[in-house]
Amino acid sequence: MRALSFIAILAFTFVASFSVEAANAAAVGNVTRVQKDAQVGNIAAAVGTPVHMGDQLRTGPDARLQVTFVDDTVLTLGENANVTVDRYVYKPEQGTGEVALTATRAALHFSTGKIKQLSNKSVTVNTPVAALAVRGTVFWAGIVDYHYGVLLVNGNLNVSNGVGGVDLLPGQGTDFVPSLKDSSGPGKPYEWPPDKVARALNTTSFNVAFGPQNLAPALVPAAIVVTTDQPASP
């Protein structure tokens, strides 16, 4: 009886260890910064917490969460965000990579990592107010001055939906003015003034207090498509 119990204990320990190792091996990234209450799945987020495909990344009031994926792509979330890592594949030896995220309308800052160098790649971020297709780009998207907007930090970005489209240059942004229609097209690109850029980036910056300028408007566009023409880095 004692021998059987000992074997059962060993078997359980092996299975548990194997499960933990398998989970860690499947990690697609890790939490690199966290402010206030944030979660990865059902676990309280802390620096070093692994992120896996299928995990939900959540932040509370005034919280921030930064995740760095294995290719050095960096995703930073503002407060009250909820993002699901639907898919993440990074196979540089095969020249393929894919990132697919589903997010709420909360502010986010996204910086593409080494995946931009791959010849066959797909990076998409889907939210109730925006569908973003990204290649080799650093951008911010969210609510600023009561309107949904997209700011291009680096790269070459085309922003479009069913109503219209615009091309952005670094430093330029576009605003979506609420409309009585189901959605509105992106406004004419213009260089956002420094104070507006600061208000936008503050929504995803750490140790920053929020103000009423960050509140969501009553109506935002239902679908925004963001693409880039920038070629992949060699």
Q: Residue-wise pLDDT tens for the chain (234 aa)? A: 555 454 444 444 444 443 444 445 589 999 999 999 999 999 999 999 999 999 999 999 999 999 999 999 999 999 999 999 999 999 999 999 999 999 888 899 999 999 999 999 998 888 676 667 777 789 998 889 998 888 989 987 777 787 888 888 899 998 888 766 667 788 899 999 999 999 999 999 998 544 443 333 333 333 444 444 444 444
In the prediction, which pLDDT does 81 show? 94
- Identify the structural domains of the chain with CATH numbers, from first to last: 2-228 (2.60.120.1440)
pLDDT score recorded for residue 182: 63
Q: What is the dihedral of CA 137, 152, 54, 208, to 10 degrees?
A: 130
Q: What is the pLDDT of residue 213?
A: 36
pLDDT for the residue numbered 25 = 55
The overall pTM is greater than 0.85: no
CB 148 within 8 A of CB 221: yes
How far apart are the C-alpha atoms of 47 and 152, rounded to whole Å? Answer: 28
- For 143, what's the count of Cα atoms within 13 Å in the CB-facing half-sphere? 24
Q: What pLDDT, on the 0 to 100 scale, is given for residue 158? A: 77
What pLDDT shows up at residue 17? 42
CA distances from 211 to 10, 61, 62, 91, 218 (A): 56, 12, 10, 42, 17
What confidence score (pLDDT) does residue 104 get? Answer: 85
